Amino acid sequence: MVIFCMFFSKTKKKTDPIISLESFEACEKPLEKSLEDGSQAFLDSMLSIAQSINLKVYKFKELQVATDNFSTSNHIKGSVYRGVINGDFAAIKKVHGDVSKEIQLLNKVYHSNLIRLSGVCINDGNWYLVYEYAANGTLSDWIFNRDDSGKYLSWKDRIRIALDVATGLNYLHSFTNPPHVHKDLKTSNVLLDGDFRAKITNFAMARSTEGREGEFALTRHIVGTKGYMAPEYLENGLVSTKLDVYAFGVLLLEVITGKEATAFYSDEHNNLADRLSNVVENGKEGLKHLIEPSMLENYPAELAVVVVQLINSCLKQNPTARPAMDEIVQSFSRILTSSSTWDLSSNMSWSQTSTGSS
């Protein structure tokens, strides 16, 4: 996680707080500080907000019971624990700081590809957020896995996950009022449920976009993950839904290559679109050293070329040259349909070959 601070003479009234999701506890203002400052009223108001928007407010004792007192056996990662509430699994995240904006946003949005917040708790100055449980963990656990644990995603799996992520982002961009931008899309912020359907999580940096469609908002604080930040945001603090489009292109590149985005950067090459230009120009031949080796070339080359071309369009330096999220959803819907046909055909061919050889 990289934090940059930039200052402009003219800014919008709203600015982003300086936060870093991977070091959340260090970068956000802790509630303990608020309480020391005599703002018990703040805590009460947050509980009031939670109750007014129909979120269940849990007693801390309930979460202790659900997680077996936050035992190591229920620890998932970071400050997230698995719990059992009313017979169902839940993910319980401990967070320092004011998360009221995230709570209010998640309560307003309801989509199968966005993680669902089901309840909250405040104890000893800490927030505890209760989310739906994603049995298969993060997308990053699957595509960067190197421990021979058997974690593997097929071509069709990867395309369906990409479509899910694109659909979730399109909901934020086109079907929330006002439109919102996630601002921190990456593979570790995409969860996979028991059926490997993707759910975008971690909305701490999400914000509404300002101005009419096509206009940009401006922020003073440049916060994000190395490799995922769009150039216009990194260099000038410009905020629009095209930030998420760029990050989606980076995520998609990681999904089909099995490599982290930083592996594609060098001192000479900091433009990912330029790095992909050779692959785009050479079509199928250019794929051999790009696609995830574990797939053993078990993917439809023609469709893979289309995906690389789509990645390239998402990574354009000029944000206005990038496609909108609804266009990406339409493209991936077609790619998934074609991938399903290819998958069925490949399985039938393999079955016939096996039968013939026996």
CB–CB of 12/217 below 8 Å? yes
User: HSE-up of 325 (CA within 13 Å, CB side)?
Assistant: 27
Amino acid (one-letter) located at 212: R
C-alpha to C-alpha distance for 58 and 122, rounded to whole angstroms: 8
What is the DSSP secondary-structure string of 184-225?
A: ---GGGEEE-TT--EEE---TT-EE--SSTT--EE-SEEEE-
Per-residue pLDDT of the chain (358 residues; tens, 9 = 90+): 544 444 343 334 333 333 233 333 323 334 444 444 445 555 565 556 655 557 889 999 999 999 999 999 999 999 999 999 999 999 999 998 878 888 888 888 889 999 999 999 989 888 999 999 999 999 999 998 766 666 789 999 999 999 999 999 999 999 998 899 999 999 999 999 999 999 999 999 998 886 555 556 778 788 888 889 999 998 988 999 999 999 999 999 999 999 998 888 765 556 787 778 777 777 777 787 788 888 877 899 999 999 999 999 999 999 999 999 999 999 999 999 999 999 888 766 555 554 555 4
The residues near 259 (Cβ < 8 Å, ≥ 6 apart) are none
Q: Residues 122-174: pLDDT tens digits?
A: 898 889 999 999 999 999 999 987 666 667 899 999 999 999 999 999 999 99
CB crowding 274-296: b at 16 or more within 10 Å, else e: ebbeebeeeeeebbeebbbeebe
Catalytic status, residue 184: yes
Q: Residues 228-280: pLDDT tens digits?
A: 999 999 898 899 999 999 999 999 999 999 999 888 876 555 678 777 877 77
What domains lie within the chain, and their CATH numbers? 23-132 (3.30.200.20), 139-343 (1.10.510.10)
Candidates 44, 147, 184, 343; catalytic one? 184
